[in-house]
Every structure is written in C-alpha cells, then in structure tokens.
Structure 1
Amino acid sequence: MTLTGSLDTRVETDRVSFSFTVANDGDDPVTLSFRDSCSADFAVLDGEDERWRWSRGRMFTQALQSESLDPGESVTYEGKWQNPDAGTHTAVATLEAENHDCEARVEIAV
C-alpha cells in the first residue's frame, strides 16, 4: 500500500488556495479512517514557526467516517488561507486519517 500526496497552491491578492491530492499508488484498495469531519489539514510555516493552520479555531463534526481508494484512485482536499502574511513560506498539507500517513510540502511566495 502506497499513498502519495501532492500539494498545489494558487496565490492571489487576498488568499492562498490549497489543493491536496492523495493518490493510492499501490496494488490494493485502501480504506482511510477518520475520527471527525477533518479529513486533511493545511499549515503554513516560516522556518520552524507555524504562521497559520487551517483547522485552528474550527469545529468539526465528531463522527467516525471512512473513505476507500482503489488502486490508481485519488481524492483531493481543498483549503484557503485568507489575508496571508507576505513572505516566503512552506505550505504543508497533511492527511488526517488515523490509520494512514500522507503529507506534501511546497514553498510559496506571497
């Protein structure tokens, strides 16, 4: 089982949009298990310092859920950073499944 992640960003004047795609590159189906409705999270780092996190201050439905990915399938999660800080940062997307890890990073300039 192999999950790979890719992170695409779009920088605009008043926001940065994130698209985190998780793909099953393995030969077997994968079931992703989540504790709540937060399937993925996005963070922006300035060196080691966290500048922003998508999930901070949000509330999520507390319900167990799952999502299956067959071999070759992918799923995309979206997020937005409103009124971003100017500078060069590292954007990090993380799959929030309790049974599988997947992360993607990319440098952004705002």
Structure 2
Amino acid sequence: MTLEGALETTADGSRDAVLFVFTVTNTGDEPVELAFTDGCKAEFVLVDDGSEVWRFSDGRMFAQVLSSDELDPGEATTYEAEWSDPDAGEYTAIATLQARETDCEATTTVTVVD
C-alpha cells in the first residue's frame, strides 16, 4: 500500500479560523481500501515547540460506525478540519490518516498573526 499525504492550510492571516485540507493520494499500482472504525477519518494536531496546542478530536464525539473508502491508483481524497479562534503564533500542523493498518501523515507550518 503506497499512500502519500499532503497538508495545506487556508490561514488568511486573520485569527477567525484556520482550515486544514489533508489530501491522501494512492501512489501505488493497486487499489487501496481505507477502513475506518469511527467517523474521525483524519486527526489534525498543532504543535508549538514540541507541546501540543490543539487537537481536532479533543472534546468531540464520533459515531462508532465502520466505513471504508477505496482509492484507485492515482486517485486522491481529502479530509478537512477547522481550528476556530486560534491563538497567534507559528505552529507545526500534523495530519494523520485514521484508517486501520495504514500509515499516512503530512506536516506543514501554520502562522496565525495577531
């Protein structure tokens, strides 16, 4: 299974919210089935100097529903999250695919200005 992740943010310089878009692409030659155990298909975490500042799943409840997505070779899917009312600073954003038996992660830098 060959998955490649890319993480983009739409931080527009304001402190209203930061949108994260995590794109997972099947870079292999065979279809890949992504199996999920609940409604949280991707986790998003912000870190500042090694300390966790924000986690998408904190304080949220997700339906315990088995589901799956299939990605054909070259096909991609996206997962999104929003950080509302962020604190100003520069952070490392990490997105991790929550599918069983997969390893796909992406990081980027996020700057929120005052």
**Alignment TM-score > 0.5, same fold:** yes
Which runs of at least 4 in structure 1 moved beyond 2 Å after TM superposition?
Answer: none
Q: In 2, Cα distance between the equivalents of 1:63 and 1:99?
A: 17
Q: Which runs of 5+ in 1 are unaligned?
A: none
**What are the within-5 Å matches in structure 2 for residues 1-110 of structure 1?**
1-12=1-12, 13=14, 14-110=16-112
Task: Using the TM superposition, give the Cα deviation of residue 22 of structure 1 relative to its aligned residue in structure 2, in angstroms.
Answer: 0.1
Cα RMSD for the two superposed structures:
0.7
Q: Normalising to structure 2: TM-score of the pair?
A: 0.94
Q: In 1, Cα distance between the equivalents of 2:72 and 2:10?
A: 28
> Partner letter of residue 88 of structure 1?
E
Q: How many residues align?
A: 110
Q: In 1, Cα distance between the equivalents of 2:62 and 2:74?
A: 29
Structure 1 vs Structure 2: percent identity of aligned residues? 54
Q: In 1, Cα distance between the equivalents of 2:105 and 2:92?
A: 13
> Partner letter of residue 97 of structure 2?
L
- Once the two structures are superposed, residues 34-71 of structure 1 have per-residue CA deviations (whole angstroms, 9 ceiling, x without a partner) of 11011001110002100000111100010111111000
> Partner letter of residue 48 of structure 1?
G
Q: In 1, Cα distance between the equivalents of 2:34 and 2:101?
A: 7
Q: Normalising to structure 1: TM-score of the pair?
A: 0.97
Q: Which runs of 5+ in 2 are unaligned?
A: none
Q: In 1, Cα distance between the equivalents of 2:78 and 2:53?
A: 23
